[in-house]
Amino acid sequence: MTGAAARQTLRAVRVDARSLAAAGILVAGWEFLPRRGLLNPAYFPPASQVVAALAEGLSAGELLPHVAATVSRLLVAFFLAALPGLGVGVAMGLSGTVRRVADPYVALLYPIPKVALLPLMLILFGVGERAFVLTGALTAFFQIVVNTMDGIRQVDPTLVEVGRNYGATRFRLFWKVVLPAALPGILTGLRLGLGLTLVTVVAVEFAIAKSGLGHVVWGSWQTLTTPRMYAAFVAVGLLGLLLTRGLKRLQDRLLAWQTSVDVW
């Protein structure tokens, strides 16, 4: 990769050069400590070995199917959750009646780590993709519901008065006033939902799936192939970075009208 292309990639994922420098220090330590025998290289292989394992796994195509498995589970789970999550969140945000009926259930289920529901999903759907994906989808669903509802409830009531006084129909009041005003909260819910779904999907793969990056981590641990294990960690991390940064970019573009402040 040329220097210019590298800079462009960095800008695309919004990584500050100083942030990269910090990573460099970390990686240097990671290389140095095992090599000098200060850390047991069987458990903590030097960074170069992890990078080599990652490069080999990707170029030999051994890791790629696992990356693909994780990504496809993640995306299917996310989109499966997004539509109903937005729908329920909007309904709960707009209607006090819907909120009073549904809120106890949401409040009850939201804090449960959805991985804990994996056994239930396995009983309901058998061991297979459906159970894995639905467990991930539940994670995203509740996050999206909660943030969408809050986003709509926090809309400035004066803006709703503006809509009414300026002749907006109920339809236009929703699409032209309430929804744009609630968009920051809604997009935050989608971003958090995506990140948490990755966590859940990897955990599910860890526990039971026979493919995916989580499976690679667990399999490598059992055979003490630690470079491969760390390579899978790194791959999960990069995946999370790319996905949430991508959504953040979309959010910034859609919400160019917002002002934000760096306090420090």
Partner 1 sequence: MAERAGGTLPTARVRAEATEAKVVVRGLSVRYTSSRGTLTALEDISLSVQAGEFCCVVGPSGCGKSTLLRVLAGLIPCAEGEVRIRSDGPQRPLTAMVFQDYALLPWRTVLDNVAFGPENRGVPRAERYRLAREILAKVGLSGFEHAYPHQLSGGMKQRVGIARALANDPEVLLMDEPLAALDAQTRNLMQEELLRIWAEFGKTVVYVTHAIDEAVLLGDRVVVMTARPGRVKAVVPVDLERPRTLEQKGSAHFARLYNEVWQLLREEVSAASREAGGG
Kindly list the residues in this chain that would bind partner 1 in the complex (CB under 8 A).
156, 158-159, 161-162, 164-170, 172, 176-177, 180-181, 183, 255-259
Q: Would you say 82 or 182 has its CB closer to partner 1?
A: 182
CB of 48 to partner 1, least distance (A): 49
Q: Would you say 35 or 153 has its CB closer to partner 1?
A: 153
Helical H segments across 36-95, by residue range: 47-59, 64-94
> What is the distance between the alpha carbons of residues 38 and 117, in angstroms, rounded to a whole number?
41
CB of 172 to partner 1, least distance (A): 6
Q: Would you say 130 or 249 has its CB closer to partner 1?
A: 249
> What is the distance between the alpha carbons of residues 86 and 207, in angstroms, rounded to a whole number?
29
Q: Would you say 2 or 165 has its CB closer to partner 1?
A: 165
Q: Would you say 55 or 250 has its CB closer to partner 1?
A: 250
> What is the distance between the alpha carbons of residues 87 and 231, in angstroms, rounded to a whole number?
38
Helical H segments across the chain, by residue range: 3-13, 17-35, 47-59, 64-94, 96-109, 118-125, 129-153, 157-165, 170-172, 179-207, 213-222, 226-254
Q: Would you say 36 or 170 has its CB closer to partner 1?
A: 170
> What is the distance between the alpha carbons of residues 102 and 22, in angstroms, rounded to a whole number?
46
CB of 83 to partner 1, least distance (A): 23
Distances in Å between the alpha carbon of 215 and those of 9, 72, 225, 264? 29, 15, 13, 41
CB of 128 to partner 1, least distance (A): 44
Of 216, 204, 217, 212, the C-alpha closest to 134 is: 204
**131: which 2 tokens?**
């159970």
CB of 253 to partner 1, least distance (A): 12
CB of 258 to partner 1, least distance (A): 7
CB of 124 to partner 1, least distance (A): 42
Q: Would you say 103 or 161 has its CB closer to partner 1?
A: 161
Sort residue 260 into left (φ over 0), alpha (ψ -120 to 50) or beta.
beta
Give, for 2, the enclosing helix (H) or strand (E): none
